[in-house]
Amino acid sequence: MRSFVSKLLIATVVLSLLAVSLAACGATPEPQVVEKVVKETVIVEGTPEVVEKVVTEVVETEVEVEKVVTATPEPTNKIVTFAWTQEPDSMNWVYSNMWFSSILQQLFHCWAWEFDDQNLPFPRLVTEIPSMENGGLSEDGLVITMHLRDDIVWSDGTPITGEDFVFTYDMIMDPANAVASVYPYDYIASVEAPDAQTVVVTFSEPFAPWQSLLWRGVMPKHILEPVFEADGTIDEAEWNRAPTVGCGPYNFAEWESGSYMRFVKNPNYWAGEANIDEIYLQFVPDDASQTAALIAGDADLGTFPPISDVPILEAGDVKVMVQSSGYEEGWFFNFRDMASPGAKDVVVRQAIAMAIDREAINQDLLLGLTKPVETLWDPIAAAGYVSPDIEPWPYDPEAAKQMLDDAGYVDSDGDGIREDLDGNPLTLIHGTTIREIRQDNQAVTQQYLREVGIDLQILSYDSDLFFGSYSDGSPAALGEIDIMEWSDSTAFPDPDQNYWLCSELPTDENPWGYNYFGCDEQLDALFQAQITTIDSEERVAIIQEITKYMHDQVYWLGMWDDPDMWIVGPRLTNVTFSGVTPFYSIIDWDVVE
């Protein structure tokens, strides 16, 4: 027995040591990764204010590093760590819609045009953004001509040309490639490159919101074309996982699954040199752990803190920055045939809008970081598109009660819940995802509605079930929920939106339809018109009419604007974000110790 135990212990110890060694050996960062340590020491020594404690710590660390690391670092690198909630699923932008994947594009990739902290577009790969005034947009709105800068190169020095754009379009549209979305490229008839610096995009019919949706990246033809020719698809291209050739201020360096991703400064970046040398993305899926890492200084940047953690973060010298990104949290009402009678009655919907104190919800649940919204169209970025005639729904429970009384909804059996003229209780089913803030909102609004005699039954689902399709039996698609809550954006900042179209109703014949709300022919006609109207004034007028109509009908009731929330540690300076291309100014970011 003793020998068995001994063997077991020895084997365990050997395995452990072996595993530690193997894990530590794998993908050791380049020598410059450790170089930072010495530089920090120098800076700290020159900072008498913090001196004694910090110097002691750093000296101890330095001794430890010297014991282990053989390569002596040089004091040159500035390294920052981003706590990244979700690990990207692909580094090729056409294969991912994941937010945590797509916003990375500004680090190692490039868009034709990007957006600044006011969410206004500025040219990146093009010399100017196409418009009718500069001849980049044809009178009929069908042809967009883009002129590329002549100094843009991939990180390996190869020029970026119109051929890369043509190749990108071809790859997106090729059925052999299972890309995440072909929208809006499936509206395009052709993409041509008459010369290296010119790209001509021709639509089959006018497509107004092109600026928000086109060329959110380009693929390097010289890297991926050989892969496509060899494999018949780029689905499995190495570049999708390791885009070592990019065109952003940083180069992709390495990706250890589940652990981290590393980017180093791109020396060939034409738009300037970044101040920060290396960026680590540490994957931190747990919100509480992200908070701890930021307070402890183990991470310099985080995203979307739990609202309840904001005071703790701010007390820990960490800044929470809010940036409007077009997303709005709201209630989508189901007015299809199978919905509860109350949900289909505009009077009930209007009474609900007045029975909920949305300002209090924003102050109490979201600590005043957000504000109530009236339409799905962002009140700031899409301000011109929102009808000026919209009067925000006031919090007026007495008026709500009166409206319900007048419409015949009265509490005839004294149970606190109103009944309709047929004696059916005014019960509505509210469904959302399991996101904590939504469940909190369900509980609060349930109380508000109870006070005016409306019974709100609340349900929550995993997001893959909630957003599942009709054929998958998603309760939202099947119409089993009267009020659905989630956060969504129109194409941003240009306010396209088409899922209220009657043709998108999910049915046995159209199981992929995503109009879970209902068909309103007047609304349908307006949505049909806005997408093909190129005249900007006319289009703005149509969208304003849509916003006013939807607001008055309460087809959508806004709860709060849902901005991007960034948690910025004290080491980072010069930090600004865009709601569309968050890292548009990353080369200006810097680090202070």
563 cis-preceded (ω within 30 degrees of 0): no
Half-sphere exposure in the Cβ direction for 284 (13 Å, CA): 23
Q: Give the shortest CB-345-to-another protein separation in angstroms.
A: 26
Q: Give the shortest CB-134-to-another protein separation in angstroms.
A: 31
* Binder among 128, 225, 235, 396 for another protein (CB under 8 A): 235
Nearer CB in complex with another protein: 33/247: 33
* Binder among 76, 97, 447, 536 for another protein (CB under 8 A): 97
Q: How far from the centroid of its chain's Cα atoms is residue 535's Cα?
A: 29
* Binder among 168, 282, 303, 578 for another protein (CB under 8 A): 282
* Binder among 6, 9, 190, 459 for another protein (CB under 8 A): 9
* Binder among 6, 15, 273, 338 for another protein (CB under 8 A): 15
Query: Coil, helix or strand for 210?
Result: helix
**Residues in 250-269 that interact with another protein by CB under 8 A:** 256-260, 262
DSSP letters of 148-164? B-SS-B-TTSPBP-HHH
Nearer CB in complex with another protein: 68/423: 68
Q: Give the shortest CB-33-to-another protein separation in angstroms.
A: 5
Answer whether 396's CB lies under 8 Å from 452's CB.
Answer: no
Nearer CB in complex with another protein: 4/139: 4
Residue 183 engages another protein in binding (rule: CB under 8 A): yes
Mark the segment that binds another protein (CB under 8 A) among 129-137, 142-150, 486-494, 581-589: 486-494
| Six token digits for residue 180 | 């995440």
Number of residues forming the site for another protein (CB under 8 A)? 99
184 cis-preceded (ω within 30 degrees of 0): yes
Q: Give the shortest CB-455-to-another protein separation in angstroms.
A: 28
What's the CA gap between 475 and 464, in Å, rounded? 11
Query: Coil, helix or strand for 212?
Result: helix
**Residues in 291-310 that interact with another protein by CB under 8 A:** 292-293, 295-299
Query: Coil, helix or strand for 427?
Result: strand
Mark the segment that binds another protein (CB under 8 A) among 29-37, 127-135, 406-414, 576-584: 29-37
**Residues in 402-441 that interact with another protein by CB under 8 A:** none
220 cis-preceded (ω within 30 degrees of 0): no
What residue ranges in 383-450 does DSSP mark as E strands?
Answer: 427-433
Name the region of 453 (left: φ>0; alpha: ψ -120 to 50; beta: rest).
left
What's the CA gap between 96 and 466, in Å, rounded? 20
| Six token digits for residue 492 | 């941003």
Mark the segment that binds another protein (CB under 8 A) among 82-90, 366-374, 394-402, 543-551: 82-90
**Residues in 310-339 that interact with another protein by CB under 8 A:** 327
Residue 175 engages another protein in binding (rule: CB under 8 A): yes
Residue 79 engages another protein in binding (rule: CB under 8 A): yes
Residue 50 engages another protein in binding (rule: CB under 8 A): no
Nearer CB in complex with another protein: 130/506: 506
Q: How far from the centroid of its chain's Cα atoms is residue 461's Cα?
A: 20
* Binder among 75, 135, 194, 285 for another protein (CB under 8 A): 285
Nearer CB in complex with another protein: 56/536: 56
**β-strands 121-123, 327-333: how paired?**
unpaired
Nearer CB in complex with another protein: 27/59: 27
Nearer CB in complex with another protein: 112/476: 476
What's the CA gap between 361 and 243, in Å, rounded? 44
- Strand-pair partners of 327: 489
Q: Give the shortest CB-157-to-another protein separation in angstroms.
A: 27
Nearer CB in complex with another protein: 217/513: 513
Half-sphere exposure in the Cβ direction for 401 (13 Å, CA): 11
Residue 510 engages another protein in binding (rule: CB under 8 A): yes
What's the CA gap between 169 and 171, in Å, rounded? 5
| Six token digits for residue 79 | 């390294």
